[in-house]
Amino acid sequence: MLNDLIEIFLLGGLQSGMYSLLALGFTLIYGISGVVNLAHGSFYMLGAYMFVTLGAIGFLGAGTMLNAVFVLVLAAIVVGIIASMIYRVTIHPVLGDEVAIMVATVCIALIMQQFVIIFYGVTFPRVAWPEDSILMNTANILGVTIEYSYIAAFVVSLALFGTLMLIITKTKMGKAMRAVSQDVEAAMLMGINTERLYMLTMGLSAMLATFAGILITSSTTKSAGAWMWLQPLALSFAIVILGGLGSIKGSLIGGFILGYAEQTVKTTVPEGGAIVGVVPLIVMVLVLLLRPKGLFGKRVELEE
């Protein structure tokens, strides 16, 4: 019993941090441009595949930790640029029409899935840190076995979350993002080029999804697959609906609630790992029934 509680507390907490990072990008692009990006999970997937593909090139020495970290950042940048361009070509032209945006983003997701199948086949490439890396070792904390990569993923997730908060509150670009999320017309009158800002935001959002994709995959399943975009999409959706669409604070707290809920199921229910995918859906249904605007939902506003 006590062991279970400790396991839920530790593993749930670590997982929660990564979930918050995953949902952050989803809530960011919605809060600023009003786009419900159903391709968010696809950028998560693309990130993992990019990590594999670029990792094979071995810029700073194949198979070294230094190279892996470099490739992590490079993959985020590459996916960010791809996402910006996809946004400009497919979503921006239909901005203002929510239904068209959803259709467009679902199409992007399906196209990317096919793209992955065509280029990589239905294989499951390995997404992990180098074998000899310390991250692949496990630690024993209070009787719970945890891989270092899991802890590292948590720490990096929170660091990235904090970095984004700093960008939004302190930098000129961040202030422009907040202005646009609060009153897009007034923001345009200040001279903000919203088209460029939306492209940047989409790029940033996809970068966060990439980081989440690589960090989560490399510390859990360790393999990518053409269908790996669906589960994170459902998760991000559930988290931001729980936390309130467009709310950054909401994505952090929603991430923790979902993370703990999932871990509780995994630990306490026999064969819990197999049914854990249902948890976000149940949470989503409950929130929509009980408090449709979410915990911190002001709908479009993106608060500090």
Partner 1 sequence: MLEVQDLTVHYDGAMALNRVNLEVGDGQFVGVVGPNGSGKSTLLRALSGILTEVEPGKKERPSLSGSILFEGKEISKLKAWQITKLGIIHCPERRRPFAEMTTLENLEMGAYLRKDKKDVRKDLERVYELFPILKERANQMSRTLSGGEQQMLAIARALMSKPKLLLIDEPSLGLAPILKETVLKTIKEIWSSGVTILLVEQDVAITLATAQKIYILAHGRMVTHGAKEELMKDRDIREVYLGL
Distance from C-alpha of 71 to C-alpha of 152, rounded to nearest angstrom: 16
Q: How far is the CB of 124 from partner 1 (least distance, A)?
A: 38
Q: How far is the CB of 304 from partner 1 (least distance, A)?
A: 7
If the CB atoms of residues 4 and 195 are measured against partner 1, the closer one turns out to be 195
If the CB atoms of residues 33 and 218 are measured against partner 1, the closer one turns out to be 33
The tokens 């230094």 sit on which residue?
Answer: 66
Q: How far is the CB of 92 from partner 1 (least distance, A)?
A: 8
Distance from C-alpha of 7 to C-alpha of 151, rounded to nearest angstrom: 14
Q: How far is the CB of 59 from partner 1 (least distance, A)?
A: 36
Q: Could you tell me the two tokens for 254?
A: 């929603």
The answer to whether the CB of 37 falls within 8 A of the CB of 176 is no
Q: How far is the CB of 252 from partner 1 (least distance, A)?
A: 17
If the CB atoms of residues 132 and 195 are measured against partner 1, the closer one turns out to be 195
If the CB atoms of residues 116 and 240 are measured against partner 1, the closer one turns out to be 240
- Using left for φ > 0, alpha for ψ between -120 and 50, and beta otherwise, residue 63 falls in left
Q: How far is the CB of 44 from partner 1 (least distance, A)?
A: 23
Q: How far is the CB of 183 from partner 1 (least distance, A)?
A: 5
Q: Could you tell me the two tokens for 4?
A: 């279970």
Which helix or strand (DSSP H or E) is residue 19 part of? Answer: helix 2-33
Beta bridge pairs of residue 223: 126
If the CB atoms of residues 20 and 201 are measured against partner 1, the closer one turns out to be 201
The answer to whether the CB of 71 falls within 8 A of the CB of 54 is yes
If the CB atoms of residues 125 and 246 are measured against partner 1, the closer one turns out to be 246
Q: For the chain, first and last CA: distance in Å?
A: 39
At residue 143, the 3 state secondary structure works out as coil
Closest by CA position to 45, among listed 108, 137, 103? 108
Q: Which residues bind partner 1 (CB under 8 A)?
A: 33-35, 92, 95-98, 172, 175-176, 178-179, 182-195, 300-301, 303-304
Q: Could you tell me the two tokens for 223?
A: 């393999």
If the CB atoms of residues 194 and 263 are measured against partner 1, the closer one turns out to be 194
